[in-house]
Amino acid sequence: MKALVLTAYNELQLKEVPKPVPAEDEVLVHIKACAICGSDVHGYDGGSGRRQPPIIMGHEAAGVIEQVGRAVKGFAVGDRVTFDSTVFCGNCWYCRHGMINLCENRMVLGVSCDEYTNAGAMAEYAAIKARTLFRIPDAVSFEQAAMVEPLSIAVHAVSTVAPIRMGDRAVVIGAGTIGLLLTQAVRNAGVTELVVVDLDDRKLELAKALGATHVIHSGREDAAAEIRALCGGRGADIAFEAVGISQTLNTAIDSVRLGGSVVMVGNVARKAELPLQKCVTQQITLYGSCASSGEYDICLDLIAHRMVDVDSLISAAVPLADGAEWFDRLHAAEPGLIKVVLQP
């Protein structure tokens, strides 16, 4: 089969590789769409250390089952499916308590790090654990289904982690893919004010179209001060940080009221500085939100019922053979590009 292989940092090649053979608890999926994640781009240049060559990347994908392992029940050849990017064991304490995102034996598709290598879905075929599969509704395309993984991160942060209530005033810091999906998930939670902060006017315009009541360009305005003014002088009830660096985390903390909450979703930097005394004396609660824990069916329904718009985030859908070019364009932060979907 053909696969897009990271053969060295900053070097991708379309290569002929062996077609995977599914284990008894796996299915073989003929991949129809695989989106390029920001973590793939950060891994492409070696920055994250989690895409060590050689590796087939890709964990945001969908396709059709071509072969079923002998122990698999409930799925059949021809089923249209997407799958959780987290390969969880199903047996540890966390899995048994529904926290599959925190599985003690957790692996991620398309990741190669010091602990393991797990081939991903930027290929014609991928062997997928049956316990991670979800059927795609007829109303959802393969390209839309490839967006379920990032959407599930946003939905998990809003519906499972955050103490958000109807009528709250909320902030989203960062209007990349996750930030724009958070914007829609937070909007659907019934907030009265929703402020989105970014440095890109085009992304801010899209955030407004997707439900933000206010947008702030943090390069031109004091975002925290503007947010406090928009939220009755006190600040927002809750902020979602979707970048993951010290500056944006501090903006999120500065934007919430006394006793407010900050949900940390972005994780670009391994470490970030925060104002400890402010968090303590203002009784600000920080929540970490990691991946998702089974929200895929909810996300598929949200897309099918047009309650979340993922199409507006897809900048291009291109052949797998063109993947190297599009990785370079994403790595260079080409203006206007948000999400690129590869079609094997």
Q: What are the 10-residue block averages of pLDDT along the chain, 344 residues in total? A: 98 98 98 97 91 97 98 98 97 97 97 96 98 98 98 98 97 98 98 97 98 97 96 96 97 98 93 95 98 97 98 98 97 94 97
Where, residue-wise, is CATH 3.40.50.720 in the chain? Answer: 153-288
Q: Does domain 153-288 have CATH number 3.40.630.10?
A: no
Where, residue-wise, is CATH 3.90.180.10 in the chain? Answer: 2-147+310-343
Q: Does domain 2-147+310-343 have CATH number 3.90.180.10?
A: yes
Q: For residue 22, is the peptide bond before it cis, meaning its omega torsion is within 30 degrees of 0?
A: no
> Whole-prediction pTM value?
0.96
Instruction: Tell me what pLDDT residue 49 has.
Output: 87
Taking the CA of residue 290 as centre, how many other CA atoms within 13 Å lie in the half-sphere pointing to its CB? Answer: 8
Residues 12/18/23/27 CA torsion (nearest 10 deg): 70
Selection from 145, 172, 175 nearest residue 158 by Cα:
172
Please report which helix (H) or strand (E) contains residue 247, including its range: helix 246-255
